[in-house]
């Protein structure tokens, strides 16, 4: 099985390390070169020297491409897809948000794109050097492609399953992520959710996500806004979500995949989403 991973950052490298440990030899398609992969997982360190390419022109078609770039990195990712995708290639998109398929439909048929919800807390300190904080999971939609994706990880340290109602899994994750805009906007970690007025603002962001998600066909509980706030309040007060981490590090932020999408799809359904719209506008202005 020929597997290529485009974007070997925190998630791409962690997934690569687990695939290597279970006997695969993924090709890493990187922007920044590195020689050695060093991933500290909850079950020990994985140290490997996979093949790393930085020039798409040197890549050939593979069976599977796993895309683990940030959601806004479509153009750069597409340059790899032009070389890696053949007539049988399937592309799994390991990114946040709910637009995994739409994002890559211009580059290959939708029925060969496998959207994946990723719940693996991982941080990168240098190219190829990653800490995976806890055991993680990934979910792909039920069906032939989803099952084939899960099979790649059959004897690996990552729990990969399929979900009949994948859209609801993705929207539930988006609900958690959209509320995190409050942290990036204030520059403050999770503890800020203890303030009643901040908790109310987070509930409002999630309520908009809930309404748009339902209009898109997701099955979401009325309690979702309270659940999300409770989750932030139960996190260590100093924990930093990736949107805030990106802002603090001066990197681009996934505001469109986390808040902009709710405003865009909301508008298509005639649903007002003023809070997510404002969050997306302010976060984009900060860049
Ligand atoms: N990290 C987590 O805990 C976590 C958890 C769940 C979901 N996610 C989602 O997973 C996705 C990936 O996040 P991440 O945290 O892994 O981000 P990341 O650490 O920034 O990794 C992204 C990688 O993509 C590379 N890249 C950018 N443009 C490229 C190009 N044209 N060709 C090849 N590689 C390119 C970057 O290269 P450079 O080395 O040059 O920067 C970087 O290595 C995001 O959608 C994120 O929201 C992350």
* pLDDT at res. 159: 97
Can you tell me which atom of ligand 1 is nearest the CA of 14? 16
In contact, 204 and 264? CB cutoff 8 Å: no
195 is catalytic: no
Q: Per residue in 144-201, pLDDT tens?
A: 999 999 999 999 999 999 999 999 999 999 999 999 999 999 999 999 999 999 999 9
Q: How far is the CA of 64 from the centre of ligand 1 (A)?
A: 18
Instruction: Give residue 276's pLDDT.
Output: 98
31-52 per-position pLDDT tens digit: 999 999 999 999 999 999 999 9
Q: How far is the CA of 11 from the centre of ligand 1 (A)?
A: 6
**What does the pLDDT read at residue 85?**
98
Q: Among the options 43, 70, 139, 173, which is catalytic?
A: 173
Residue 257 CB contacts under 8 Å (≥ 6 apart), including other chains = 71, 72, 95, 96, 97, 99
Q: Which residues line ligand 1 (CB under 6 A)?
A: 6-12, 29-32, 68-71, 73, 76-77, 80, 94-96, 118, 120-122, 124, 127, 242, 254
At residue 33, the pLDDT reads 97
Report pLDDT for 55: 98
pLDDT in tens, 229-250: 999 999 999 999 999 999 999 9
Nearest to 179 by CA among 276, 111, 100: 276
């Amino acid at each position: 099985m020929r597997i290529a991973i485009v974007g070997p950052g925190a998630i791409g490298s962690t997934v690569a390390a687990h695939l290597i440990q279970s006997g695969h030899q993924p090709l890493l398609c990187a922007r920044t070169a590195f020689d050695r992969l060093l991933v500290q997982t909850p079950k020990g360190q994985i140290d490997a020297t996979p093949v790393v390419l930085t020039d798409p022109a040197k890549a050939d078609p593979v069976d599977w491409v796993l895309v683990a770039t940030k959601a806004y990195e479509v153009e750069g990712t597409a340059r790899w897809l032009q070389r890696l995708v053949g007539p049988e290639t399937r592309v799994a998109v390991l990114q946040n948000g709910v637009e995994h398929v739409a994002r890559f439909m211009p580059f290959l048929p939708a029925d060969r794109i496998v959207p994946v919800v990723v719940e693996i807390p991982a941080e990168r300190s240098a190219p190829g050097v990653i800490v995976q904080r806890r055991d993680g999971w990934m979910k792909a939609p039920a069906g032939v492609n989803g099952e084939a994706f899960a099979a790649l990880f059959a004897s690996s340290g990552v729990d990969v399953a399929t979900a009949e109602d994948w859209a609801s899994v993705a929207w539930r994750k988006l609900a958690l992520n959209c509320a995190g805009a409050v942290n990036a906007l204030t520059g403050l970690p999770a503890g800020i959710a203890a303030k009643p007025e901040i908790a109310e603002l987070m509930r409002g962001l999630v309520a908009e996500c809930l309404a748009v998600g339902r209009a898109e066909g997701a099955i979401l509980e009325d309690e979702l806004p309270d659940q999300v706030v409770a989750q932030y309040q139960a996190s260590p007060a100093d924990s930093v979500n990736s949107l805030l981490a990106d802002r603090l590090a001066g990197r681009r932020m996934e505001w469109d995949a986390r808040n902009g999408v709710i405003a865009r799809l909301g508008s298509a359904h005639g649903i007002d989403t003023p809070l997510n719209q404002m969050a997306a506008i302010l976060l984009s202005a900060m860049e």
